[in-house]
Structure 1
Amino acid sequence: MEAKDEQLILSFVDRDPELRRLHEEHVQLEKQLAQLNHKGFLNAEEEVERKRLQKVKLAGKDRMMEILSRYR
């Protein structure tokens, strides 16, 4: 996520509960993905989980961008 988008999100999280929830989820998903990516090798189950987390994270980011478009 770009720094300017991150700053914009942080400026509106106090006013928009959905944006706050999505941002918190995004941060948590980044942490989970970082843990998986830190492993040298992923078994099939872990690879499927990594792909699932990436899709959920992307969907959340898309929704955050929709919300931010209202504030721009």
Structure 2
Amino acid sequence: MTASQQLRETLLQTDEEFRRLATQHRDLDSRLGELSRQLYRTGQEEHEKAVLKKRKLQLKDRMEAILRRHSAPAAVPALEPSIRG
């Protein structure tokens, strides 16, 4: 398992927002799969599919931001220059 996969698994266990986003992303993916398997879709279903794709991308972007925030090395505070007098 890569470090990225480990972080994702850890966040699924410990970060409520990440878990909620992942659940919503999975649910949208499932619905999009249902719509894609239909041979014929109504105009309303085509619109739903487009809206769901956009929402799914938004969720993925938010999840990626959380992953980046947790994987970034801790910021090192800048040392103040010594004052010589």
TM-score, with structure 1 as normaliser: 0.86
For residue 62 of structure 2, what is the aligned residue in structure 1? Answer: 63
Instruction: Write the distance in 2 (CA, Å) between the matches of 1:43 and 1:53.
Output: 15
Write 1 or 2 for the structure with the bigger share of helix: 1
Report the aligned-residue RMSD.
1.7
> Which ranges of structure 2 fall in alignment gaps of 5 or more residues?
72-85
Partner of residue 29, structure 1 = 28
**Cα deviations by residue, 1:9-61 (Å, 9 ceiling, x for unpaired):** 22211111000000000110000000000001211000000001001100000
Look up the SS of the partner of 1:13 in the other structure.
helix
Structure 1 unaligned segments of length 5 or more: list them.
none
Residue matched to 1:45:
44
Task: Give the alignment's TM-score, normalised by structure 2.
Answer: 0.74
**1:12 corresponds to which residue?**
11
| Count of residues in Structure 1 that have an aligned counterpart in Structure 2 | 69
Letter in 2 for 1:17: E
Q: Which has the larger radius of gyration?
A: 2
User: Structure 1 counterpart of 2:69, which letter?
Assistant: R
Identity of aligned residues (%): 36
Name the CA shift for 1:54/1:17 in 2 (closer, same or farther; >3 Å). Answer: same
Counterpart code for 1:51: A
